[in-house]
Amino acid sequence: MRKKRLMTRRQAIIAGLTSAGAFLLYGWLKKAPPTYGNILRMGDGLTYMAQRSLLSQRALAPEYQKSEITSFPVTDIGDPADPASNDAYSKEYEYLLRKNFEGYTLAIEGRVAKPRKYSLEELKKLGGRTQITRHTCEEGWSAIAEWTGVPLSTVLKDAGIFPDARFVCLYGFDKYGESIDMLDAFHPQTILAHTMNGESLPARNGAPLRLRVETQLGYKNVKFLRRIVVTDQFVDAASDISAGWSWYTGI
């Protein structure tokens, strides 16, 4: 006579969690950005799904006091005389810099009802947020600064994003780009910063406008912003520049 094996309560719970986890994983697999051919990026999907599934999407990055502000490394846009940085050089940016960014506009296009270009003043009129946060660089250094800017979510709402919008691609004058999902785009601390430590954002730190996405590592914070493209499909905007870097670098 064969004995019936009864499932214990603990086994039932484990089985239930496993099934739920598998279902959840399947759901996220359909939503997650694809992984890449480069082996260094193969963990992107798992990291992305784990953080998006298990962690609060509204949790704020730590904010600091003015007394805790530190010096911030300089990152210039490029020098045409320097072979190492010539690829990042932009004549258009150099012209705007000489004119103190008179005539500067930020374009927003793609899956939006009202594609348009915003002047810096128009962006400032949309509203603002000030936060003192830590910039954590993938190269091992960190710095604390005060940033003021318009929430990216406010700009997206003003442009009228379509219901099928899933990712936001941001491109700078230095030919660098990144993309983030809608959860990061609508995070309250994700802003387009025009002011740093109480003064207009300096060119050495990304003037006239830079992304601050405080929930990811430093290289996601695109500087010298010139264009935003809203998409319904995943685009690795930095694929030609940062091959091997993770697309999702949640912290």
Residue 50 has pLDDT above 90, yes or no: no
Please state, in angstroms and rounded to a whole number, the distance separating the CA atoms of residues 219 and 139: 9
Is residue 54 assigned to a domain?
no
Q: Domain containing 88: what range? A: 62-231
Of 127 and 85, which is predicted with more confidence?
Answer: 127
How many angstroms separate the CA atoms of 79 and 43, rounded?
35
Domain contains 217: yes
Q: Does 212 reside within a domain?
A: yes
The stretch 161-181 carries a mean pLDDT of: 94
Closest C-alpha to 204, from 244, 149, 145, 251:
145
**Residue 105: closest CA among 155, 154, 148:** 155
In a domain, residue 128? The reply is: yes
pLDDT > 70 in the chain, percent: 77
pLDDT of amino acid 59: 83
* SS (HEC) of the chain: CCCCCCCCHHHHHHHHHHHHHHHHHHHHHHHCCCCCCCHHHCCHHHHHHHHHHHCCCCCCCCCCCHHHCCCCCCCCCCCCCCCCCHHHCCHHHHHHHHCCCCCCEEEEEECECCCEEEEHHHHHHCCCEEEEEEEECCCCCEEEEEEEEEEHHHHHHHHCECCCCCEEEEEECCCCEEEEEHHHHCCCCCEEEEEECCEECCHHHCCCCEEECCCECHHHCCCCEEEEEEECCCCCCCCCCCCCCCCCCEC
Alpha carbons 176 and 221: distance in angstroms, whole number: 10
What is the total count of domains within the chain? 1
Do the domain assignments include residue 182?
Answer: yes
Q: Measured between alpha carbons, how far apart are the two ends of the chain, in Å?
A: 56
Give the residues across from 166 on adjacent strands.
none
Nearest-Å Rg of the Cα atoms of the chain is: 21
Digit-coded pLDDT (tens) for 172-222: 999 899 999 999 999 999 999 999 999 999 999 999 999 999 999 999 999
Q: In this predicted structure, what is the pLDDT of residue 57?
A: 65
Amino acid 39: pLDDT: 59
Instruction: Report the CATH number at residue 98.
Output: 3.90.420.10
Residue 151 phi, psi (nearest 5): -55, 135
Question: Would 139 be classed as within a structural domain?
Answer: yes
> For residue 149, what are the β-bridge partners?
129, 193
Q: Is residue 31 part of a domain?
A: no
Tell me the per-residue pLDDT of 54-101, one tens digit each, with 9 for 90 and over: 666 678 999 999 999 999 988 777 777 777 677 788 999 999 999 999
In a domain, 49, yes or no: no
